[in-house]
A and B are shown apart, each in its own frame.
Chain A
Amino acid sequence: MFHTIYISESILNEVKSESTIYWIADNMARNRMALFTETPEIREEAIRIMRESRRYPIKSIDYPEAVCLSIGRMLEITVLSENGGAYASQYIYLKGVTVWRAFEVLLELYRRGLIDKSEFTRYQAETHHRFSRRDLEAIGIGETL
């Protein structure tokens, strides 16, 4: 679905568990993931996005997500984030940026026939995540979960 997953240094620094670090390192070694070093331009744009987000009465954005949105905007690539502010930004003030949550990733896999509906339930159980009923019903699977 994605050729390469970029991970910014500020996000990588938040990972502590051995299993997750090994998983990322292994995928970097296989060229499936790549480290994105934050340039001054990226940081400048991230700070601008953070300030812009404060102008609206919705969830604002903090630095790690702002960096990802900045990279997404500059490279025109999809941003993967569970942050509600990042998700909302694409509809309000970052209209050229696409943000996918886990829901959109699973949805794309489901539409491609790579997973079945049970994966939505499994993901929620394993991560203690709750997809909104509205999202599930909008794609016609809410009533089956």
Chain B
Amino acid sequence: MWGIMGKTTIEELRKRFEESREIRRREADWDFINKQPPRIRAALIYYIESGDLYVASRIAGISMEEMNDLRVKARIPNTN
């Protein structure tokens, strides 16, 4: 493993997670998201908050690959 993280503490990982969530919230296409049917909208919002594609796909009732396509359409960056 390359040593790309200066710190690998829980606090550092939480900080990275918060930064990623802010980017997803900021860059998402909320007009697109708000026009979606309830399950899809809920799944996209869940993804923005958690970054978890698998659970989001289960909320939407679609495969992970289809959920990823939806993520791109909603302009939500994958960040981690």
Contact = CB atoms under 8 A, between A and B. Distances in A.
B is bound to A: yes
Interface of A: 13-17, 20, 56-59, 62-65, 82-85, 87-88, 90-92, 98, 100-101, 103-104, 107-108, 127-130, 132, 134-135, 138-139
Main SS at interface, chain B: helix
Contacts of A100: 1
Given A57-B10, A59-B50, A59-B52, A90 B78 contact: no
Interface of B: 1-2, 4-6, 8, 10, 13-14, 16-17, 19-20, 23, 50-55, 57, 63-66, 71-72, 75-80
B65 A132 contact: no
Given A13-B63, A103-B4, A127-B78, 16 more contacts: A14-B64, A15-B63, A17-B65, A62-B54, A64-B64, A65-B54, A84-B17, A84-B52, A90-B1, A104-B2, A128-B76, A128-B78, A129-B78, A130-B23, A132-B20, A135-B4
Contacts of A101: 80
Contact of A58 (B14, B54, B63, B75): B14
Contact of B65 (A20, A65, A82): A20
Contacts, number: 90
Nearest to A98: B1
What 4 pairs between A and B have smallest CB-CB spacing?
A14-B64, A91-B8, A130-B77, A84-B80
Contacts of B1: 90, 98, 100, 104
A57 B14 contact: yes
21 contacts: A56-B10, A58-B17, A59-B52, A62-B54, A64-B54, A83-B54, A83-B80, A84-B17, A84-B20, A84-B80, A85-B52, A88-B13, A103-B4, A107-B4, A129-B79, A130-B77, A130-B79, A132-B20, A138-B4, A138-B5, A139-B4
